[in-house]
Every structure is written in C-alpha cells, then in structure tokens.
Structure 1
Amino acid sequence: MRYLKIFVIGLIFFGLSYEKGFTQENYSFETLGKLKTYSASEIESSRWSIGGETLDRDYADYHAYKEYLGPSGAKRIRLQGGWAKSEQVKGVYDFEWLDKIIDDALYQDVQPWLQVSYGNPIYPGGGEAALAGGIPTSEEALKAWDQWVESMVIRYKDKVKEWEIWNEPDISKKMSAEEFAAFHVRTGDIIKRIQPDAKIIALGLAGLSRTEYVKSILDILKSKDKLDQFDVLSFHGYNSVPERSYSAVAKLRELVSSFDPEIELWQGENGAPSTPKGQSVGAMTKYDWSETSQAKWVLRRMLGDMGHNVDVTSVFQISDMQYAKGDHFAGLNSKGLLKVAPDGSIERPKLSYKAFQNTVSVFSGEISKIDKAEVQKDIKDLMVFSYNKKGKKGTAITVWKGGEKPEDLMDTELVNFTITHAKIKNPVFLNLLDGTVYALNEDNYTKNGKVLLFQNIPIGDWPIVILDKDWLELVKN
C-alpha cells in the first residue's frame, strides 16, 4: 500500500487576541459555528481533572473561583486536606473550610480526590506545611497524624473515593525513600481499615526519571504485602515541551506493570505559566510565557497524555496562586486557567480555560484510542492520534506539531498525512483554542481503501481535531 507523504507547501497566519476573544483569519474552510461545551453535570464520565491545590495554605480561594469549576467540565478536582489548617490547636479539628469545598464540588458533580499532606508544626517533629517539607517523625507527631488521618477518612468516606498520600516526596531532602515507604504503609493501613474500597494514589512523583525511587518503594510495599495500597502512580514532571516527557512515562508504566499490571498511571499535576520570565514562581518560569503559549501547552499536555494512554490527566490549576514566604518559594504562580485580581477575586478566564473546556467537551465519555492505526508522515514532530467514542459515529483525529516549546506566533504549515483504521463520513475541522468548527473541503481528504489521506491541512504548534460531525453539537457564533 502506498501512502502519500507529508510535505510543507506554505505558511499561513492568523491573529489572536485573548483579552477580547480568540479570532482567526485565513482559514479557507467554511465556518459552521462554535463547539457547544458541557458542564460537569452534563458529562457522565471523563478522564479529565482540574487542580484545586494550595487551598490548605490559602494561596488560592475556592469560593472566588467555584462558579467556574462545574462549567469547566472537569469531573475531578485535586485537593489537599491541610492538617496544619484543620488542627491549629492540638486535638481540635476544624473541618468547616474543607466541608464547604468538598460539598460544593460534589454539588457541581465534580469528584474530589483528596491528598492528606502536609505536616503540622504545632507538634515537635510534626513536619512542615510546605512543599518539600518533611513527614512527621516524632512519636507524638506520628500518633497525632494517625488520629488526623482517621478523623478525615471517617468524615469523608462517603464523599471521597480516591486518596493521595503526600505530594512530591522525592524532592524532599528530609526523608529517604525507605522512610517514606514506611509512612505510606502506615497511612494506607488507616485508609483501608476505614474505607476498604478506597483507591489510593501513590507518590505524586515530581521527577519522571526517578524510576529507582519508585522501584525502592514498590519493593518495600511488595515485601510487606501492601501493593493494594498502590492503586495509582501519580506523576508530575514539568517540561516546557510536553512531548519530551513520554519516554520517561513509558518507563514508569513498564516499571509499575512489572509489579501489578492493574496499577493506573495518572498525570496528577502539570501546568504552564502565563506570564513572562521573572513574573511567576514555580516550574518552567525560566522561559517566557503568555496566555497564548500557556493555552497551547495545556492542549498539548492533555492530548499528549491521552495519546500515550495516561489514565487520568489533571491540569494545574484552575486559578492563579499567591505563594507566601516560608514555603518552597513566594510570589505569584501564574499557572491558573483563571486570572486572579490583586484582591483575590477572579478577573477573567484565560484562553487556556476555554481550551480546557473545549477538549473536555469533545473527549469525555468512553473514549478508546485506535492503537492499530498507522500514520505516515515526513515531519518528525507531527503528533497524530485517533479515537473512537461510544455512542458517536466515526473517528476523531488529533494533530499538532510538538517538537518545540509553544510560542505566541500562530504560524501554521499546510501538511499532508495518511492514517489507517479511521472512518470519517462527514469530516469537520475543530480548532481547540477557540472552539470554532469548520467544514473540511472535499479536496482536503481522500479515502483509499482503509487509508484516509489528508492534504493541505493547516497545522501549528497546538492541537486541532479532524473528526466526524456526529461527535459535536454546535452553537452559532
């Protein structure tokens, strides 16, 4: 069988203005309308999660952004329990702040997954309430930790089904892998005793290349017959070029599968700043970013994860955060999908929020990747994946250029590619950045047996989708 090779035949440009709304020019396709997006209550199931971290340290305000949570379409929100926030007087728990958050998220049909970190400095040897802090170590602190975890699981066992133990322990210099494994088992025993059907999310791993760290913990859990406390490996691994992460993700999958092939792989925390270099704290801030490049990065992370069979993807996070002195760093962390005003209120959604909505609305439900699909391409960094969706006709094909960090320029190249095992009766072209749907011209695609040939498709450094119109519900511009 012959395949038509991809080649570059030109460049086209179109404009972008994220404050006033995304606009496009120079697409030759007929505009059909805008993609209708769905709130979490309208979505039955999904692999998409949004970050709600740092509420335990008041770096963000749930009640400022909660009106945007359900409409985002995310079916999960990652939360941190906040021992130090909930127990400020020894033996006295104040769960009111967390009750309100969990109850509101559930009311919006968003399922919380709750992390039990961090430490509590009111106890000698209680660890710190901060990123990269230590776990409780003294006898008094460990006993208090046990009581705290027990109280929290009893309180939320009918509302929270997924529990995460700690965050990025691999970056802390205050505990070894062996020490953390013992702490994990100690905590997991409490969770499983109270809630036997709980799903335990392990590690919240910061570094993707730290396979030896993961293996040492898995070895210890296996020796203690505690692999049932490792339902999910959660990893982070920030990279300005998302696609460069997946060789390491594949190694992690191979490792955990060697212990138990049923262990899931979740991308538990990843996001990009939206401000220029020097105006944000946290990962990837040595690069210049904008709301445009952030939105492109978010799309590439989400669809790259899906294309590489990551089970759950969580975008970090829903709103900007203001870290305080005494933590790992201090200052604005601009990775939010919502821009925060100086008074802590939400100023407006960023372009990334709309991009997230669009992706979630298209790729929720029972999505299955077509692993047997064969793609022929000449451009090395062209990413092409295809999917079927239960209840929908035809195939969806995601395409983007993924070799470099996303930038502000909206340049595209007209490319050709072929793909097998894809069926599209009524193909349309969806720009995930702004949700505009176009009718694909008849001369842009040809079917040759089991092969679809696409010609002169404008592709840039962010994902678009070519899919059967049956997948979408449209609204007028």
Structure 2
Amino acid sequence: MKYLKIFIIVLFSLLYEKGLAQENYSFDMLGKLKTYSAKEIESSRWSIGGETLDRDYADYHAYKGYLGPSGAKRIRLQGGWAKCEQIKGVYDFEWLDQIIDDALSQGVQPWLQVSYGNPIYEGGGDAALAGGIPTSEEALEAWDQWVEAMVYRYKDKVNEWEIWNEPDISKKMSAEEFAAFHVRTGDIIKSIQPDSKIIALGLAGLSRTEYVKSILDILKAKNKLDQFDVLSFHGYNSVPERSYSAVAKLRELVSSFDPEIELWQGENGAPSTPKGQSVGAMTKYDWSEISQAKWVLRRMLGDMGHGVDVTSVFQISDMHYAMGDHLEGLNSKGLLKVASDGSIEKPKISYKAFQNTVSVFSGEISKIEKAEVLKEVNDLVVFSYTKKGVRGTAITLWIGGEKPEDLMDTELVNFTITHTKIKNPVFLNLMDGTVYALNEDNYTKNGKVLSFQKIPIGDWPIVILDKDWLELVNN
C-alpha cells in the first residue's frame, strides 16, 4: 500500500509536468506569462536560499545557472567560519569570493550570515545547526578576527549581515549568552560598515516571543538596538496560513521596541518527496512536487499579504546533510532536483511557480488595505494589490486551511471585492504561468466593486489581474 501511494504521488507529478493533471479551465487561453531574470528586475521582496554551502551539502556551481533566471533579487548565504579557517589564523575566502561575485554578476544580492562555530579551537563551538557559539577566550578572539576579516573583505559587496542561525533551538547557550555574543559581533560589523543592516536571530520557533523579548531587552539596556534592524524568522508549518497569528505577535513585539524593525521570513520551504525520504522540517507528511509547489506559492503570497518585508524560499536546490550534523540525509526542499552525482537533474514544478510569482509581484507592490471581500467559502484567502507604474490591480486567491494536496481539484467560487479596479481582467495560474481571458459572464464591474462568479479555485494561489500587469509569450 505504501509503494502504491508513492507511485500515485510520482505519477501525478509527472502528469502535471506534461499538463495532463492540470485543471481544464473553460476560459480561452491567451498564452504564457513571460518571466524575468534578476537582472531585468529592479527591485523586489523575493529571496532564494543558498544555505549549507559552508558544509558542502549543496553545490553552488551546479545550480548557479538557475539562480539569475529564477528572478530572486537576494540569496541567503552562510559564511562558514570552519570552512574559511581550517588552519589557525589562515583564511581561505576563495570559495566564497566565487559565489558572491557570481551572484552579483547575475543581479542577485547576497545577504551573508556569520556562522557557525569552529572546532579547530578549544571551546570554538560547533560547525553545525543547533550547535554552540565559541566560548573560550582564544576562540572568541579568533571569531572576532574572522568576522572583521570577512566584513572588510565584502563591505563593498554585501550590506546585509545575519548573526548566526536559529540560536533558539540550541541547548548549548542561553538567551543571555547569545545576546552578549550578538552584541560582540554587531559591534565589529557596525565599526567597519556603519550603514550596514543587521539581521537578527534567524528564529526557528515562531511562538518563542519571550526568547525574542529577552534578547531585545538586553540590547536595549546596552543601547544596542541599532544592531537589530531586522528580525528574521523561520517557523515551518504544513499549513502556511496557520503561521500568521504568531507572525503578528512578533511584529507587535518588535514594534514595541522600534517600529522601524523589519520582519523578514528568512527560511521556509516544503519537501518534494513522500514521507520517510527526506530529513528536516515537515517530513512526517507525504509530499510531492505538486504539493511542494502549492505550499511555496501559499507561503510567498501569504507573507506578502501579511506585510512581511522580505520572503526567502528554502532553498534553490536539494541538499545532502552529512553525518555529525543536526540532520543526516537528503533534504528535498530544493526548487531544483539534485542527481546522485551532485548535478542538477531538473527544475521542479516549484521552480517555475517561484519564477512566475517573482515576475508578477516584483517592483513596488502595495496591498489595498481598504479592500473588503464578500465570499461564500470560509477558507478562501483573498488579497488585492496595486503596482507602481502599472494600471489596475491584482487579486490573489486560494483555498487555505489545510495542507496542500497532490490533486488539482477546484471548486467554483463566487466573491465580491471592493476598492479594486480592473479594466481588462485575466486569470493567471501561477503553477505553470498560463494566462486565460475571463468570460464576460464571470465578472461584473460597478466602479471599484468587482463581482466574480464561478471562478475555479483550488488549494494553490491563482491571480485575477489587469492584463497590463503581464507580458505574454506564445504557448
């Protein structure tokens, strides 16, 4: 029975790629959405994960040809103290130079994390997730020197620095110990690059508001809140919409210290393999390329709808964690499938879905806060937006509330939305980028009140938007 289920999941993914399992919309197809590379996009909120390169769990040079075309304007990288300094006092930055220079050449801005520990020093901490920070005098002095060397080296290329990753899941340090370590590191970064942006915590648990508050209290007491420009959070949930009440509490907390602190979703993704075939978050569930792509879309557009400033999808390629780390084995959260020899076997469905979303929702996007929705489906998620320099609005819709599934089932939904104006509405399936003309009997307009009838909606986001938002290519 188990193998039959896996076979069905794989079959649906293959069928979807061939367009056979896709919803057969009754609308007339206009063409495919044109996607843009990072160089063609001036600015956006979208980032892609390039983590674990410091431990060689992924290969940047295998996937770099897919980075710029993804459209992501940022890539999250880990600096890797233990990889840079394998002999005491001797730094090898060549591996990181190549990555940073190549990303920049493709129009993708790195944000660089200083982490993890370095076991060549006694008390140097662990070069692994959930490990400890350096604690001995020798190791702390070596850490300071490495951070200083890194910031000096990249200060003309990198302006956004993240201090450590998920310290809240480590049992080897207290919040107070990490706060002191954060201040120590932040002082070095700001002394060399005063206008830099410091990204704090990489918080694993969304509900750990007391942990965040304890860090902020210490920084405030030390007059170091300028080292907390951004709170980055992770918080994996198989139903993305269930994260946002906790995100709202985090926003309220950081705003009580400084309303200018930004909120970045720094690391989130879903596996693409059935239960038992991947390590990491959410692997107790069955996943496929289809459900992964749906999840990625819901996370991206859910973040945008709830005012998250930057969203980073974890990550661009599959990873293979090594023995001795917090995890061991394949982590299939990549948007690119990795072959056994480390090469890229193919882009997954989620890669195309990411491209489509980035291409539509880059630039200066503003949520229409006054928009109100009358709907017949309780779990229907609806947001509407304007885009600077583009006429009309865009409406994102999906049915949330449950984990995304592999079937492409839809239901016909009626809804009315206010304060939204679309002159020439079209229907965009973000999964594959197909654009359809809406029939006149599917919508009515009364000024800025739009009523839609019999719109096929499933558990993944689609967009109804003014055609002016899009550039089409022939199918």
Under a length normalisation based on structure 2, what TM-score does the superposition of the two structures give?
0.97
Equivalent in the alignment of 1:363? 361
Letter in 1 for 2:95: W
Match of 1:431 among 429, 432, 440: 429
User: In the aligned structure 2, how far is the partner of 1:350 from the partner of 1:218?
Assistant: 40
Q: Is it true that 1:92 corresponds to 2:90 in the alignment?
A: yes
Equivalent in the alignment of 1:420? 418
Match of 1:334 among 332, 335, 341: 332
Equivalent in the alignment of 2:28? 30
User: In the aligned structure 2, how far is the partner of 1:54 from the partner of 1:410?
Assistant: 33
What is the Cα deviation at residue 448 of structure 1?
2.6
DSSP 3-state at the match of 1:466: strand
Instruction: Return closer, same or farther for 1:25/1:298 CA change in 2, 3 Å cut-off.
Output: closer
Instruction: Return closer, same or farther for 1:177/1:25 CA change in 2, 3 Å cut-off.
Output: closer
Letter in 2 for 1:116: V
User: In the aligned structure 2, how far is the partner of 1:23 from the partner of 1:411?
Assistant: 9
Which deviations, in whole Å up to 9, do the C-alpha atoms of 1:260-303 show, x marking residues without a partner? Answer: 00000000000000000000000000000000000000000000
Letter in 1 for 2:319: M
Equivalent in the alignment of 1:71? 69
User: In the aligned structure 1, how far is the partner of 2:462 from the partner of 2:13?
Assistant: 16
Contact 2:386 2:392 in 1 (8 A): yes
What is the Cα deviation at residue 18 of structure 1?
4.2
Count of residue correspondences: 464
- Bigger CA drift: 440-449 or 346-355? 440-449
User: In the aligned structure 1, how far is the partner of 2:61 from the partner of 2:137?
Assistant: 37
What is the Cα deviation at residue 21 of structure 1?
5.5
1:147-186 map, 5 Å: 147-186=145-184
Letter in 2 for 1:258: S
Q: Is it true that 1:196 corresponds to 2:194 in the alignment?
A: yes
CA RMSD of aligned residues (A): 1.1
DSSP 3-state at the match of 2:112: strand
Contact 1:18 1:350 in 2 (8 A): no
Q: Is it true that 1:215 corresponds to 2:213 in the alignment?
A: yes
DSSP 3-state at the match of 1:429: strand
Letter in 2 for 1:65: Y
- The answer for unaligned runs of 5 or more in structure 2 is 1-11
DSSP 3-state at the match of 2:162: strand
Equivalent in the alignment of 2:275? 277
User: In the aligned structure 2, how far is the partner of 1:450 from the partner of 1:89?
Assistant: 66
User: In the aligned structure 1, how far is the partner of 2:443 from the partner of 2:14?
Assistant: 27
Equivalent in the alignment of 1:375? 373
Equivalent in the alignment of 2:295? 297
The percent of aligned pairs where both chains have the same amino acid is 90
Which deviations, in whole Å up to 9, do the C-alpha atoms of 1:95-142 show, x marking residues without a partner? Answer: 000000000000001000000010000000000000000000000000
DSSP 3-state at the match of 2:171: coil
Moved over 3 A (4+): 18-25
User: In the aligned structure 2, how far is the partner of 1:471 from the partner of 1:46?
Assistant: 15
Under a length normalisation based on structure 1, what TM-score does the superposition of the two structures give?
0.96
User: In the aligned structure 1, how far is the partner of 2:142 from the partner of 2:129?
Assistant: 20
User: In the aligned structure 2, how far is the partner of 1:26 from the partner of 1:337?
Assistant: 25
Contact 1:15 1:24 in 2 (8 A): no
Which deviations, in whole Å up to 9, do the C-alpha atoms of 1:371-406 show, x marking residues without a partner? Answer: 111111232210000000011110000000011000
User: In the aligned structure 2, how far is the partner of 1:98 from the partner of 1:16?
Assistant: 36
User: In the aligned structure 1, how far is the partner of 2:312 from the partner of 2:13?
Assistant: 29
1:247-258 map, 5 Å: 247-258=245-256
User: In the aligned structure 2, how far is the partner of 1:26 from the partner of 1:315?
Assistant: 29
DSSP 3-state at the match of 1:17: helix
**Structure having greater relative contact order (Cα 8 Å, sep ≥ 6):** 1
What is the Cα deviation at residue 450 of structure 1?
3.0
Contact 1:22 1:434 in 2 (8 A): no
Letter in 1 for 2:167: P
User: In the aligned structure 2, how far is the partner of 1:252 from the partner of 1:318?
Assistant: 27
DSSP 3-state at the match of 1:395: strand
- The answer for unaligned runs of 5 or more in structure 1 is 1-13
User: In the aligned structure 2, how far is the partner of 1:26 from the partner of 1:137?
Assistant: 60
User: In the aligned structure 2, how far is the partner of 1:60 from the partner of 1:300?
Assistant: 25
Contact 2:13 2:289 in 1 (8 A): no
Q: Is it true that 1:118 corresponds to 2:116 in the alignment?
A: yes
Contact 2:13 2:288 in 1 (8 A): no
User: In the aligned structure 2, how far is the partner of 1:461 from the partner of 1:356?
Assistant: 16
Equivalent in the alignment of 1:4? none
What is the Cα deviation at residue 176 of structure 1?
0.3
DSSP 3-state at the match of 1:106: helix
DSSP 3-state at the match of 2:15: coil
Equivalent in the alignment of 1:406? 404
What is the Cα deviation at residue 208 of structure 1?
0.1
Q: Is it true that 1:135 corresponds to 2:133 in the alignment?
A: yes
